[in-house]
């Protein structure tokens, strides 16, 4: 599909988010395409590394809110949850190049990437509370772990954005570069990884994440149940309607 460009060359599968007019927001079809691409890259011995990249001006504005209203992910088998399970269980290295806004799952998917290279214009946000829902992608577990509880509370309870420098300081991002260089750097690093012994890469990633994958899977499942329920509740309906109507939400009665 053209909203996700998938290219495999020189042992690297690159997924390019390519829906810039809608700020690379993710539709159900895009989640399915990414889940399938990860499953294929996992099974294909010739693929050693996966790269996610967006555009110089935008990584992703998160879930496509219109699509979300049409196809709410109320089942644990919804494409978004298939994608999240696939990225959590992916055993080969994953690199992301992030420029511009990375909102919602645009940020939380990065907790599952091994190396994140950010443009100096990158801005991360997890505004789930502001949308009347709760964290996903196990970000309720991984954000406090990675950022410390205080900064995670600012990001998750207040929904406050944070910039590339803070993301670098907290270890979510490995390096900051000019936006025009981020995708190329991700590619170079992927090619470097692809020349290394695969068994060592797999063992090292597995050891670094030991014990974590099942905790993450459990938290994702718990979040999915709460998220699915909250989507149908008045606060989320108000938040999503407000976004579609380009106005501020009014939570005064919720």
127 binds ligand COA (CB under 6 A): yes
63 binds ligand COA (CB under 6 A): yes
79 binds ligand COA (CB under 6 A): no
64 binds ligand COA (CB under 6 A): yes
Question: Residue 162 is encoded by which pair of tokens?
Answer: 């944070």
Is residue 124 classed as helix, strand or coil in its secondary structure? strand
66 binds ligand COA (CB under 6 A): yes
Integer CA distances (angstroms), 71 to 68, 79, 104, 231, in order? 5, 10, 17, 11
Write the DSSP symbol of residue 129.
Answer: G
Span from 62-70, 150-158, 191-199, 218-226 in contact with ligand COA (CB under 6 A): 62-70
What is the chain's length?
A: 254
Span from 22-30, 36-44, 151-159, 213-221 in contact with ligand COA (CB under 6 A): 22-30
249 binds ligand COA (CB under 6 A): no
146 binds ligand COA (CB under 6 A): no
Q: Which of 101, 119, 132, 249 binds ligand COA (CB under 6 A)?
A: 101
3-state secondary structure 88-122: HHCCCCEEEEECCEEECHHHHHHHHCCEEEEECCC
198: CB partners within 8 A, 6+ apart = 48, 92
Contact 108, 135 (CB under 8 A): yes
131 binds ligand COA (CB under 6 A): yes
Whole-number minimum distance, CB 74 to ligand COA, in Å?
15
Query: Where along the sequence are the contacts to ligand COA (CB under 6 A)?
Result: 22-23, 25, 61-66, 101, 103-104, 127, 131
């Amino acid at each position: 599909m053209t909203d996700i460009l998938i290219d495999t060359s020189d042992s690297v599968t690159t997924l390019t988010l390519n829906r810039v007019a809608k700020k690379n927001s993710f539709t159900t079809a895009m989640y399915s395409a990414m889940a399938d691409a990860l499953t294929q890259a996992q099974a294909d011995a010739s693929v050693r590394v996966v790269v996610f990249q967006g555009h110089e001006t935008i990584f992703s504005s998160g879930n496509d809110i219109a699509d979300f209203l049409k196809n709410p992910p109320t089942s644990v088998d919804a494409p978004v949850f298939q994608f999240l399970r696939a990225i959590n269980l992916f055993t080969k290295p994953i690199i992301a190049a992030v420029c511009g806004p990375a909102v919602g799952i645009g940020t939380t998917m990065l907790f599952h990437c091994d190396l994140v290279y950010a443009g100096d214009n990158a801005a991360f946000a997890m505004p789930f509370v502001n949308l009347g829902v709760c964290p996903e992608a196990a970000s309720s577990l991984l954000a406090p772990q990675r950022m410390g509880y205080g900064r995670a509370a600012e990001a998750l309870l207040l929904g406050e954005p944070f910039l590339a420098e803070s993301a670098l300081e907290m270890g979510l991002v490995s390096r900051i570069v000019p936006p025009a260089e981020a995708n190329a750097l991700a590619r170079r690093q992927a090619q470097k990884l692809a020349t290394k012994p695969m068994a060592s890469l797999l063992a090292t990633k597995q050891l670094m994440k030991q014990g974590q994958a099942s905790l993450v899977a459990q938290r994702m499942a718990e979040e999915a149940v709460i998220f699915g329920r909250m989507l149908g509740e008045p606060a989320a309906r108000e938040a999503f309607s407000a976004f579609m109507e380009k106005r501020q939400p009014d939570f005064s009665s919720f």
